[in-house]
């Protein structure tokens, strides 16, 4: 499972890819920030088409593991999140840092581009918008 409603266990994610033959582990953690597009954010919610999102995450992880000699772990929250909570995390481990960094970046960029996960932001002024994760500052009223 890649999507979960419970807080991400970052140590467990790293432990899933760590091994004696993998000297480099690169991680990305995306936390909920308190602003977006010049507006103050109070909280947000992620929703997803679960079957499709899980399958697409699996394809992305498999592609990274086929392209580089790495092991990859990925987790993404769904449901309500508060400011500062981890929303997405990637850990990629390889014998060397270059492949770990490259695979980690590939995975997070592909997740943002391809996985059907939608973000709804709740602003401090009381408005709520759906945010397009593939476009800078693109949103529609909720």
- Please state, in angstroms and as integers, the Cα–Cα distance from residue 99 to each residue in 2, 59, 63, following that order: 22, 18, 13
Return the number of other C-beta atoms located less than 10 Å from residue 62's C-beta.
11
CB-based contact 28:47 (threshold 8 Å): no
Q: Which residues of the chain have pLDDT under 50?
A: none
| Paired strand residues for 71 | 93
Closest CA to 75 of 46, 36, 34: 46
CB-based contact 37:137 (threshold 8 Å): yes
CA end-to-end span of the chain = 28
Q: What is the pLDDT of residue 63?
A: 98
From CA 109, how far away is CA 134, in angstroms rounded?
Answer: 10
Q: What is the pLDDT of residue 85?
A: 98
Prediction pTM value: 0.93
Residue appearing with tokens 């709740």: 122
Q: What is the pLDDT of residue 132?
A: 74
Q: What is the pLDDT of residue 136?
A: 61
For the chain, the domains span 3-35+44-118
Q: What is the biggest distance separating any 2 CA atoms in the chain, rounded to whole angstroms?
A: 51
Question: Does an H or E element contain 126, and which?
Answer: none
At the fourth CATH level, the homologous superfamily of domain 3-35+44-118 is: Molybdopterin biosynthesis MoaE subunit (3.90.1170.40)
């Amino acid at each position: 499972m890649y999507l979960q409603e419970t807080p991400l266990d970052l140590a467990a994610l790293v432990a899933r890819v760590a091994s004696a033959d993998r000297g480099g582990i690169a991680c990305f953690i995306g936390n909920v920030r308190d602003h977006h597009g010049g507006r103050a954010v109070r909280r947000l919610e992620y929703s997803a088409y679960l079957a499709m999102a899980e399958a697409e995450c699996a394809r992305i992880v498999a592609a990274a593991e086929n392209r580089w000699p790495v092991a990859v772990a990925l987790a993404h929250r769904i449901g309500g999140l508060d400011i500062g909570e981890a929303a997405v995390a990637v850990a990629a481990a390889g014998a060397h840092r270059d492949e770990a960094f490259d695979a980690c970046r590939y995975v997070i960029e592909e997740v943002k581009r391809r996985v059907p996960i939608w973000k709804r932001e709740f602003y401090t002024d009381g408005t709520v918008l759906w945010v397009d994760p593939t476009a800078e500052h693109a949103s529609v009223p909720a």
